[in-house]
Amino acid sequence: MNKPRAWLRPAAALLAGILFFLPIYLVLVNVFKDGSDIVSNPVGLPVPPTLDNIQSVLSRPDHLFWYGLMNSTEVTVISILIVTAISAMLGHYLARSNGVLAKVAMVTLLCGLMVPPAVILTPITEVLRTLGLMSTVPGLVLAYVGYYMPFGVFVFAGFAKTIPREIEEAAAIDGAGAFRAFWQVVFPLMRPASSSVLIFLGVWIWNDFLNPLIILGPAAGTTVTVGIYRSIGEHQADYGSVFALMFLATLPILVFFLVFQKQFVKGLTGGATKG
């Protein structure tokens, strides 16, 4: 507040930020150093930078990174699209229904928000095995669709209440069936809710570890996150290539985050300021 100490706040903030960022800095600089430099000088800048670590990850004979990237992309994209579509319909439906059954369904779904994944993992593997989907990408997608349904419904049902009913009635009068009215009129209006659900689930599913580890198993390949875990067992001390793998695996989600940062934070803070 008083002038002579005006530098104190930015200085303290900067110092806290630097200390906090150190671990990430260590990864970023060491990706571009070769092994001996990492051990002898972990903190220094990489001069001259080398791309050897990244190249060695990209050209692994077992294609760990590329297969992981393909699996992660496939699982994440398909899961978030299906959850968004289905939970938007369900959330909107429940928000518009006044019956007792709808209320029960809503409460049951909300309870699902706090079920830890570990609690239901064994039975999920059995359900998937019964369906013939264990150790497959569709099986993992199905597990995500079920597990994240409560979150989607929660977001969409909350948002649907802010959309005036008259809009849907107008669409019906204009001759649109319920299905068309929803997808062409209501769903576009729920864009903020859709982007929240897509962004959050995108990050959560991309980063998930336990479900792909158990459901995909070693047979059906891995996601990038599980790939990182598997690779630290192989070469304990080779930080260069482990860091490079993490760097490459995180890059897509990082770009995704930087592009959607505003919406991400908006989605997070929706409830923090209410009265």
Q: How many residues bind other proteins (CB under 8 A)?
A: 99
222 binds other proteins (CB under 8 A): no
Kindly give, in sequence order, each residue whose CB lies less than 8 Å from that of residue 136, ignoring residues fewer than 6 positions away. Answer: 216, 220
According to CB under 8 A, which one of 70, 77, 81, 105 is a site residue for other proteins?
105
13 binds other proteins (CB under 8 A): yes
Kindly give, in sequence order, each residue whose CB lies less than 8 Å from that of residue 229, ignoring residues fewer than 6 positions away. Answer: 209, 213
According to CB under 8 A, which one of 151, 243, 244, 248 is a site residue for other proteins?
243
24 binds other proteins (CB under 8 A): yes
Give the footprint of other proteins on residues 44-83 (CB under 8 A): none
149 binds other proteins (CB under 8 A): yes
Q: Which is nearer to other proteins, 17 or 49 (CB)?
A: 17
26 binds other proteins (CB under 8 A): yes
Q: Which region among 46-54, 61-69, 190-198, 252-260 touches other proteins (by CB under 8 A)?
A: 252-260
Block residue for tokens 């006044």 = 98
100 binds other proteins (CB under 8 A): no
Query: Can you say whether the dihedral through the CA atoms of 198, 200, 31, 235 is positive or negative?
Result: negative
According to CB under 8 A, which one of 65, 71, 206, 221 is a site residue for other proteins?
206
Contact 223, 216 (CB under 8 A): yes
Q: Which region among 46-54, 56-64, 159-167, 190-198 touches other proteins (by CB under 8 A)?
A: 159-167
According to CB under 8 A, which one of 35, 46, 138, 146 is a site residue for other proteins?
146
Q: How far is CA 233 from CA 219, 227, 228, 230, 238, in A?
A: 18, 10, 9, 6, 10
Q: How far apart are CA 260 and CA 130, in angstroms?
A: 39
Q: How far is CA 130 from CA 121, 138, 218, in A?
A: 14, 14, 20
Q: Which region among 45-53, 59-67, 73-81, 171-179 touches other proteins (by CB under 8 A)?
A: 171-179
Q: Which is nearer to other proteins, 48 or 116 (CB)?
A: 116
* DSSP code per residue over 127-147: HHHHTT-TTSHHHHHHHHHHH
Give the footprint of other proteins on residues 117-136 (CB under 8 A): 117-124, 126-127
Q: Which region among 51-59, 61-69, 106-114, 190-198 touches other proteins (by CB under 8 A)?
A: 106-114
192 binds other proteins (CB under 8 A): no
* DSSP code per residue over 35-85: HHHHHH-SSS--SS---HHHHHHHT-TT-HHHHHHHHHHHHHHHHHHHHHH
Kindly give, in sequence order, each residue whose CB lies less than 8 Å from that of residue 160, ignoring residues fewer than 6 positions away. Answer: 91, 92, 95, 96, 186, 190, 193
Q: Which is nearer to other proteins, 26 or 70 (CB)?
A: 26
Q: How far apart are CA 147 and CA 118, in angstroms?
A: 12
According to CB under 8 A, which one of 4, 7, 23, 132 is a site residue for other proteins?
23
